[in-house]
């Protein structure tokens, strides 16, 4: 008599589940590390965008006073937002990373460089 096999045996299912769980144990910590790395790169790119927009703001507003002895201009995210150089969502993102509306963008970026 011919034996008909319609499904997997219990041992085959256990082996497959074991292999899948091993793969997940390897992948999940790596995915979390990659997300953290991507977030950090995104934050640095956003800071570069703010500095670029602040430079453009200074270029378009030559009468802006230089405020300190190091000849650094004072440009805030509030000024950039009011001038249309950054959007309201970018202003919110700046606040999320710790740049308040009163902070000088150039000082903040210089003091918070990645290590």
User: What digits encode the pLDDT tens for the residues 105-115?
Assistant: 888 888 877 65
Sign of CA dihedral 80, 84, 86, 88: positive
Contact of 103 with 78, CB cutoff 8 Å: no
Q: Is residue 78 part of a domain?
A: yes
Q: Is residue 22 part of a domain?
A: no
Angle, CA of 68, 74 and 78, to the nearest 5°? 155
pTM for this prediction? 0.69
- What is the rounded distance in angstroms from the CA atom of residue 73 to the CA atom of residue 88? 23
List of long-range contacts for 79-85, beta carbons under 8 Å, 24+ apart: 80/50, 80/53, 80/54, 80/105, 83/57, 85/53, 85/54, 85/56, 85/57
Q: Is residue 13 part of a domain?
A: no
Q: Is residue 8 part of a domain?
A: no
Report pLDDT for 71.
64
To which residue do tokens 């790596």 refer? 30
User: What digits encode the pLDDT tens for the residues 77-101?
Assistant: 999 999 999 999 999 999 998 888 8
Q: 72 lies in which domain range?
A: 36-111
Q: How many domains does the chain have?
A: 1
Q: Is residue 63 part of a domain?
A: yes
Q: Is residue 28 part of a domain?
A: no
Q: Is residue 29 part of a domain?
A: no
User: What digits encode the pLDDT tens for the residues 21-63?
Assistant: 999 998 888 888 899 999 999 999 999 999 999 989 988 888 7
């Amino acid at each position: 008599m011919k034996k008909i096999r319609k499904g997997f045996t219990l041992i085959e299912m256990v082996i497959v589940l074991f292999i899948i769980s091993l793969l997940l144990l390897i992948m999940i910590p790596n995915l979390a590390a990659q997300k953290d790395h991507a977030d950090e790169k995104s934050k640095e790119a956003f800071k570069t965008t703010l500095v670029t927009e602040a430079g453009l703001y200074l270029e378009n507003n030559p009468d802006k006073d230089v405020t300190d002895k190091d000849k650094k201009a004072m440009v805030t995210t509030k000024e950039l937002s009011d001038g249309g150089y950054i959007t309201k969502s970018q202003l919110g993102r700046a606040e999320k990373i710790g740049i308040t509306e009163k902070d000088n963008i150039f000082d903040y970026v210089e003091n918070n460089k990645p290590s």
